[in-house]
Amino acid sequence: MTAFTSSDEDQAFSASWRTTHDADDHASCLQHWKQRYDQLTAGLFSGNFEEFWFDNLQVFRERTNQSVHEAGQSWEGSRTFGVPVEIDGKGWYCGQILDLNSIITLKGGEEMDFRTPKVQEILAVTTDAAALNDYALQVEHRDIEAELAGKRVLPASAEQAATLRDFLGTVMASLRATPEMLRHAAMRKALEQAIYGSLIASINPDTEHRPTPSGHARRLVVERAREYMNAHIEEPITVADLCAELRVSRRTLQYSFQDVLNLNPVSFLRALRLNGVRRDLKRAADHSASVADIAARWGFWHLSHFAADYKSMFGELPSETLRNAGHRID
């Protein structure tokens, strides 16, 4: 087993990688789950597993080269989502056919009954169900647990499955490359909210008509949002923070910013956070400060996207800003 874990002084996160040669051993890779794997097809078993834990989230990828029957339960109070990356052969999940465009889900305490294809690689997230539902209620005004009641395979489109698959793949690649960034609370918060937003987007909402806010109401939303931003100028504010503070949905926030400022709130907040990074780079007092650390403090978890956005905004790379300030670059 190859593993990377946080230090004893900082238990904010953990990360691990494993290669296995026995289905039963593979079942034990997933922390805090009660699982049993039985190999169903003949041949030498080979599996790969990686997992990241932080705050309310367990993000993992697993690959197996033999059909296995997976039985068991996730940890109490959790909600799991999974999407295949690769499959070879037919699989069955809780009585339904599994294909590449399936998005599967499991609630803590429910029994899993999963016969995997001959070859399977899957990306998955297990999270605290109440935390996800609270986020969905505050930001999207949706009761996700009510919407998922009784569902094991979500009625998602191929596009929704591909979007979730690509996003979770990007998350895993970023965490694998720089797991130590999870030591920063702002980075964990931003990543958790990004994951929650992606999971919610994969669940088709109820098709109820929701009235759009009036012009006056939209201006009031933006005014209150800007007041909150000004009062927290040195903090990495997120869309979810604004929704919770203003008690409006993401949809209302989107309409309001687009109408009043001709800019969506995500872009507006990204610009504020980029400016926050630039200020910190220019005045960094710690000569050992790195671009990655400062970006993580402001909630940027995808470093290549961050660097591109920074250069587009300011005409130079963040490393150049730090160099020009006369500080060492890690």
Instruction: Summarize the confidence of residues 288-295 as an average pLDDT.
Output: 84
Higher pLDDT, 233 or 94: 94
Does residue 60 contact residue 51 with C-beta atoms inside 8 Å? yes
Low-confidence winner among 22-31, 75-84, 132-141, 288-297 (lowest mean pLDDT)? 288-297
Does residue 30 contact residue 14 with C-beta atoms inside 8 Å? no
| pLDDT tens readout for residues 159-203 | 999 999 999 999 999 999 888 889 899 999 999 999 999 999 999
Q: Given the structure tokens 């169903």, which residue do they identify?
A: 40
Does residue 6 contact residue 13 with C-beta atoms inside 8 Å? yes
Q: Is 312 exposed, middle or buried (0-12, 13-18, 19+ CB in 10 A)?
A: exposed
Write down the pLDDT at residue 277.
92
| Start-to-end CA span in the chain (Å) | 29
Write down the pLDDT at residue 210.
56
**Whole-Å CA distances, 251 to 64, 285, 313:** 40, 40, 26
| pLDDT tens readout for residues 255-285 | 898 888 888 888 888 888 899 899 899 887 5
Q: What percent of the chain has pLDDT over 90?
A: 60
Rounded to 5 degrees, φ, ψ at 236 are -80, 80
Residue 206 DSSP one-character state: P
Higher pLDDT, 83 or 327: 83
Closest to 146 (Cα-Cα) out of 91, 208, 72: 208
**Secondary structure element (H or E) that encloses residue 147, with its range:** helix 144-148
Write down the pLDDT at residue 37.
95
Instruction: Summarize the confidence of residues 140-144 as an average pLDDT.
Output: 93
What's the token pair of residue 311?
């250069």
What distance in Å separates the CA atoms of residue 10 and residue 24, rounded to the nearest whole number?
Answer: 31
Output the CA angle 18-20-21, nearest 5 degrees. Answer: 170
Write down the pLDDT at residue 259.
87
The answer on pLDDT for 328 being more than 70 is: no
What distance in Å separates the CA atoms of residue 56 and residue 188, rounded to the nearest whole number?
Answer: 10
Write down the pLDDT at residue 199.
96
CA dihedral 129, 134, 136, 137 (to 10 degrees): 140
* Arithmetic mean of pLDDT over the chain: 88
Low-confidence winner among 43-47, 78-82, 132-136, 299-303 (lowest mean pLDDT)? 299-303
What distance in Å separates the CA atoms of residue 107 and residue 75, rounded to the nearest whole number?
Answer: 9
Output the CA angle 85-126-200, nearest 5 degrees. Answer: 75
| pLDDT tens readout for residues 19-73 | 999 999 999 999 999 999 999 999 999 999 999 999 999 999 999 999 999 999 9
Output the CA angle 33-39-45, nearest 5 degrees. Answer: 95
Q: Given the structure tokens 């986020």, which residue do they identify?
A: 135
What confidence tier does 329 reach under pLDDT thresholds 50, 70, 90? very low
Write down the pLDDT at residue 213.
62
Q: Is the dihedral of CA 143, 144, 145, 151 positive or negative?
A: positive
The answer on pLDDT for 7 being more than 50 is: no
Write down the pLDDT at residue 144.
95
Does residue 79 contact residue 148 with C-beta atoms inside 8 Å? yes
Write down the pLDDT at residue 330.
45
Does residue 212 contact residue 174 with C-beta atoms inside 8 Å? no
Write down the pLDDT at residue 310.
94
How far does CA 30 lie from the centroid of its chain? 18
Does residue 117 contact residue 88 with C-beta atoms inside 8 Å? yes
Residues sharing a CB contact under 8 Å with residue 33, sequence separation 6 or more, in sequence order = 72, 73, 74, 75, 126
What confidence tier does 326 reach under pLDDT thresholds 50, 70, 90? low
What distance in Å separates the CA atoms of residue 185 and residue 4, rounded to the nearest whole number?
Answer: 19
